C-alpha cells in the first residue's frame, strides 16, 4: 500500500495552477538523490532547526524575501518600501502565486503565518518581536498582530515599534514563510510532522519550487517539482530524494556505489575515509553552525558561579568536538563574533582547560566534586549532540559528578529554553539567514529565552541590533560575549565545518550564503539535464 501510494504521488506531482487542478509531472531520470546524516523531524518552518530540516523547508516554503549571495531580493514580494521614520514597511506581492494545493496566496496567509509563530512562542519568534502588537499575541491577549495592516490581497503594511536594521534580514528565516492557513487549522499539532506506516499525516503545502510527495518514519523524504512555480529564473530536477539518518561514511559508500548524488555533510578539509575523490566535486561554501554548553544561573546548583566555572573548565572543547564530529570542526578560540567573519580563513588553536578546577570546586563548596547532586544534561536527538553530551558527562564523571544525558527533540528543547525549564543543556545553532544577529537573538537574548539571563549584556545586544555598521556590530557582540563568558553561563564548544560532495553530473550545484541549494547553474554544460 505504501509503495502504491508513493508511486501515485510521484506520478501526479504537485497541484497548482489557476484552476487548482493537478498537473502531471513526468517521471524521468532527472532525479537528485541527497544523503543527510540526520533525520528530518519536522518541515514546519516555525520549528526547523537542523541543517537537513532547513534544506527541506527552504525547498518547499517561501517568504517575502531571500538572500542572493548577500543581496536582499524579493521572493514572494515583488517590491517593498520603508517609511522615512523607519517604522513602516510596505510589501507588494508578486501576482498569481499559488500554494501546492492550488490555493491562491494572499497577504492574509502571510499575516496568519506570522501570528502563528508568535502564538506558538516558537524558537524563531524573535524575528517578529518588534512588530506592533507582538507582545499581546505572545501573552495570549490577542490572536492577531495589530501591526500588520492588510491594504489588499496583494499589499500589506508592517508597523514596527522602533526602527530596526535587522528586520528585513530576519525575514529570510524559514519562520517567516507563508503557510496555507486552512491546512494549519485542519492539521493542527501534526502540521509539518513525519508520519509513519501506521499513522500517515497530511503533507503541508508551500509556495516553493518543490512539494512534499512522500515522508515516512523520518528515514526518507521525497520532493516533487512544483511545475507551476512562479520563479522561472532557475531550472530544477524533476524530483529530489533525501536519504536520512545515515552516517557520513555510509553516505560516502552510497555515493561511490552511485545510489546517491550528493553527500550533504562532508568534511571540508579532510578525506578521512581514504576514497579516491577525483571523480567528485566538493562544494565548501561555509554554513555557520555552532555547538555550545549552557546553564541556568537562576536554578540550583547552577546559581553558584564557581560551580559553573568548574564545569566549563572540566569540559575540553577539543575532546567533545572530536567525540562528536572527528576532525571537521573549528576551534572557538577567538569566540563567536570573530569566527563569523573569519570562517575557514585560518587554523585556530584549541582552548586549554583551566588548571584551577579543584580551586573552583573548593570555592563552590564542593571539594573534589563531593556533594554535587546528580545532574541531567539535555541535548537534541542528533547523533552529533548525543556523542558530545556523553563526552561531557564522562569528563564530569572523572570528578565524581553524575550526569544523565537526556536527548529530546529540537522542538521540546527550544520550548524548555523559552520557558526557562532547561537547567543544563547542550545547544546548537544553525544560521537561518540572520547571521550574528540571529545567533545572539535566539541563543542569548533574555527576551527570547528564559535560561541565560545576565542583565548587563541586554543593553549591549540592543545596541548591536540597531547598528548597520558591521565593525561596530562585531565589537558590541564581542563585549556581550565577554560578559556572559565571565559569568559562566554559556561556552561555545566548537563550530561545525561542512561541505557537499557531489557526483560530476551535479557539479554545478552550489550552496548560497544561507546554506540553501542554489540551482541557478543547474544543467549548465550537461547534455543530459533539462535546461
pLDDT digits (tens, 9 = 90+) for 77-95: 999 999 999 999 999 999 9
For the stretch 199-230, pLDDT in tens is 677 889 999 999 998 887 767 889 999 988 88
Walk across the sheet containing 239-243 and list its strands: 210-216, 220-225, 239-243, 31-35, 262-266, 499-503, 280-283
Measured distance CA(369)–CA(374) in Å, rounded: 11
DSSP notation for 153-212: SSEEEEEBSS--TTHHHHTTSGGG----HHHHHHHGGGTTB-B-SSS--PPPP-SSSEEE
Q: For the chain, give the number of residues.
A: 531
Q: Give the model confidence (pLDDT) of 367-408 as tens digits.
A: 999 999 999 999 988 888 999 999 999 999 999 999 999 999
Count of CB atoms situated within 10 Å of the CB of 221: 25
The CATH class, in words, for 2-60+211-285+499-518 is alpha beta
- CATH match for 65-178 among 3.40.50.300, 3.90.76.10, 3.30.360.10, 2.40.160.50: 3.90.76.10
Q: How far apart are CA 306 and CA 368, in angstroms?
A: 13
Is there a common fold for 65-178 and 289-496?
no
What is the model's pLDDT at position 390? 97
Nearest residue to 212 via CA among 60, 352, 372, 62: 60
pLDDT tens figures, 31-42? 999 998 878 888
Domain boundaries, the chain: 2-60+211-285+499-518, 65-178, 289-496
Pick the CATH number of 289-496 from 3.40.50.300, 3.10.105.10, 3.40.190.10, 3.40.50.920: 3.10.105.10
Paired strand residues for 480: none
- Helix, coil or strand: residue 345: coil
Question: Which cell numbers in the block locate residue 157?
Answer: 503594511
Residue 520 has φ and ψ, to the nearest 5°, of: -60, -30
Tell me how far CA of residue 217 lies from CA of 183, 191, 201, in angstroms: 21, 15, 11
pLDDT at res. 118: 92
pLDDT band at 342 (very low <50, low <70, confident <90, very high): low
Q: Helix (H, G, I), strand (E, B), or coil: what is residue 405? A: strand
- pLDDT tens by residue, 490-530: 989 988 877 888 988 888 888 776 667 888 877 554 444 43
User: Which residues on adjacent β-strands are paired with residue 491?
Assistant: 293
Amino acid at each position: 500500500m505504501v509503495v502504491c501510494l508513493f508511486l501515485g504521488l510521484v506520478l501526479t506531482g504537485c497541484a497548482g495552477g489557476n484552476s487548482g487542478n493537478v498537473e502531471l509531472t513526468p517521471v524521468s531520470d532527472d532525479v537528485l538523490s541527497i544523503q543527510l546524516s540526520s533525520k528530518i523531524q519536522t518541515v514546519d518552518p516555525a520549528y526547523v532547526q537542523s541543517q537537513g530540516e532547513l534544506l527541506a523547508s527552504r525547498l518547499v516554503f517561501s517568504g517575502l524575501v531571500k538572500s542572493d549571495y548577500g543581496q536582499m531580493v524579493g521572493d514572494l514580494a515583488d517590491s517593498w518600501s520603508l517609511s522615512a521614520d523607519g517604522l513602516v514597511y510596505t510589501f507588494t506581492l508578486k501576482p498569481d502565486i499559488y500554494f501546492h494545493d492550488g490555493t491562491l496566496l494572499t497577504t492574509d496567509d502571510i499575516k496568519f503565518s506570522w501570528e502563528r509563530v508568535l502564538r506558538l512562542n516558537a524558537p524563531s519568534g524573535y524575528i517578529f518581536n518588534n512588530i506592533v502588537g507582538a507582545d499581546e499575541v505572545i501573552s495570549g491577549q490577542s490572536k492577531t498582530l495589530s501591526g500588520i495592516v492588510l491594504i489588499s490581497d496583494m499589499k500589506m503594511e508592517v508597523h514596527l515599534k522602533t526602527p530596526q536594521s535587522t528586520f528585513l534580514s530576519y525575514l529570510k528565516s524559514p519562520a517567516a514563510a507563508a503557510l496555507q492557513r486552512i491546512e494549519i487549522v485542519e492539521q493542527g499539532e501534526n502540521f509539518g510532522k513525519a508520519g509513519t506506516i501506521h499513522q500517515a499525516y497530511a503533507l503541508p503545502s508551500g509556495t516553493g519550487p518543490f512539494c512534499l510527495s512522500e515522508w515516512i518514519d523520518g528515514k526518507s523524504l521525497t520532493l516533487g517539482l512544483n511545475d507551476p512555480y512562479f520563479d522561472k529564473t532557475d531550472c530544477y530536477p524533476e524530483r529530489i530524494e533525501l536519504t536520512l539518518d545515515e552516517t557520513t561514511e555510509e553516505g560516502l559508500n552510497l555515493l561511490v556505489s552511485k545510489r546517491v548524488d550528493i553527500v550533504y555533510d562532508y568534511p571540508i578539509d579532510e578525506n578521512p575515509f581514504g576514497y579516491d575523490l577525483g571523480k567528485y566535486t566538493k562544494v565548501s561554501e561555509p554554513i555557520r553552525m555552532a555547538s555550545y554548553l549552557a546553564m541556568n544561573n537562576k536554578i540550583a546548583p547552577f546559581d553558584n558561579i564557581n560551580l559553573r566555572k568548574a564545569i566549563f573548565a572540566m569540559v575540553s572543547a577539543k575532546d567533545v568536538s572530536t567525540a562528536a564530529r572527528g576532525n571537521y570542526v573549528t576551534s572557538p578560540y577567538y569566540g563567536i563574533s570573530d569566527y563569523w567573519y573569519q570562517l575557514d580563513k585560518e587554523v585556530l588553536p584549541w582552548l586549554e582547560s583551566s588548571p584551577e578546577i579543584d580551586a573552583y570546586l573548593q570555592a563552590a563548596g564542593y571539594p573534589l566534586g563531593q556533594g554535587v547532586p546528580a545532574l541531567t544534561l539535555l541535548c537534541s536527538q542528533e547523533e552529533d549532540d548525543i556523542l558530545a553530551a556523553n563526552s561531557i558527562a564522562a569528563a564530569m564523571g572523572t570528578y565524581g559528578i553524575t550526569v544523565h544525558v537526556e536527548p529530546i527533540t529540537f522542538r521540546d528543547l527550544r520550548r524548555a529554553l523559552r520557558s526557562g525549564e532547561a537547567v543544563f543543556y547542550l545547544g546548537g545553532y544553525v544560521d537561518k539567514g540572520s547571521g550574528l544577529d540571529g545567533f545572539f537573538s535566539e541563543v542569548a537574548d533574555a527576551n527570547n529565552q528564559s535560561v541565560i539571563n545576565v542583565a548587563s549584556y541586554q543593553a549591549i545586544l540592543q545596541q548591536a541590533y540597531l547598528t548597520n555598521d558591521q565593525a561596530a556590530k562585531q565589537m558590541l557582540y564581542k563585549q556581550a560575549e565577554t560578559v556572559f563568558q565571565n559569568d559562566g553561563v554559556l561556552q561555545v564548544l566548537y563550530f561545525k565545518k561542512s561541505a557537499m560532495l557531489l557526483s560530476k553530473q551535479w557539479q554545478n550545484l552550489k550552496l548560497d550564503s544561507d546554506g540553501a541549494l542554489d540551482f541557478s547553474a543547474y544543467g549548465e554544460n550537461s547534455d543530459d539535464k533539462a535546461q
